[in-house]
Structure 1
Amino acid sequence: MSIFHFKPLRQQTDEQLMARAAAGSDTAFEELYRRYARRLKGFFFLQLGGDEELAADAMHDVFLRAYEARSSYQEGRRVDTWLFTIAYNICRNHYRSNAYEAQLLATLDSEPVNDQQIEVELDEATLDQALEQALAELPPSLHQIFSLHYQEELTIPQIAEIVDIPEGTVKSRLHKTMNIIRKKLKKYEDK
């Protein structure tokens, strides 16, 4: 029988409680929570800009991490040091993520907003999407010739050789393809 059973939980040291928690005692871990929750929440409140909700979340995160790692607790290590090390790392991660966010927001805020440029980019994106859709609906033979000419920038004689059809057929297929695309994109023309 262990010495832990002779003393009530409130009279045991933090290290004794942690050793019991590591052995599987949830009540011992709850006693540690009772002892340190308020201190950790206060620490986070001061470190995280006075945000009570964020402080409470961070405090719970410390105990969640400690609970998950309880079986790897090294006997003899001070529990308060261990918990505050976890707390420090949570703050450090919070600072890093906020610094990244702040840097990103500062960059975005420093760039002048040009409504006309945004509108042009949106229009171009919409038109590109409509063109992709129109090309996807083409028969494969027309789509291939279009791609070879307009995307790969090959000449009509080169395409005729690749596809093994007369140059006139390449020209007529390109003409037909352009008519189909014009009809599908007509609604995007400036009026």
Structure 2
Amino acid sequence: MFDTVGVLKRSFEPVDGGYLFYPTRWSHGYQVTPAEYEALIEDWRRVAGWKGLVKLAGLTVLAFLAGSMLANFVDVSRSTSSVVGYGVTAGVIGYLVWQSTAANRLVKGRKPYAPPRSGKEAEAAMGKTLGRTIAVWMVIVSLSFLAWAVFIAISQPLLGIPLAALIGVVAFLNFRIAVRAFRTKR
């Protein structure tokens, strides 16, 4: 559904002698050599490409199945089983976060190659990087969660109103990102 490798590729701008990478919206641009760029793309393809995601999902399911079977055969309390499940989930998320920050770790400590972008340039780059498909899905998922939070707010106002406000802010920010993606010229 999403081209995760394409999103990473669009995060780099071709320049003389390699590529320009901006770790954040407000940071300077750092030069990355073509060899480093290819290594980053290949590593990310291995992690977040189709085969990588299937492998990661399969390993996660196997870990949960093995944990469930072990909990049934060995007398393990429910809370211990839950802690193991949370640990597996945290491990998978930690692995993905670590892999997704490879480009940032690569340029850490290097001298800047380009000055920070203007706000308008940064917004255009963000819209180009994400793409329209991801932006649309971000809005759909955000609005779905917002509808869920509103239903909770109706039934349990004490919990639901702050939850709806929080999710409403996130939905608004995601909507702004979607607008940037659609305003960006291809």
TM-score by length of 2: 0.23
TM-score by length of 1: 0.22
Flag the structure with higher helix content: 1
Flag the structure with higher strand content: 2
**Higher RCO (CA < 8 A, seq sep 6+):** 2
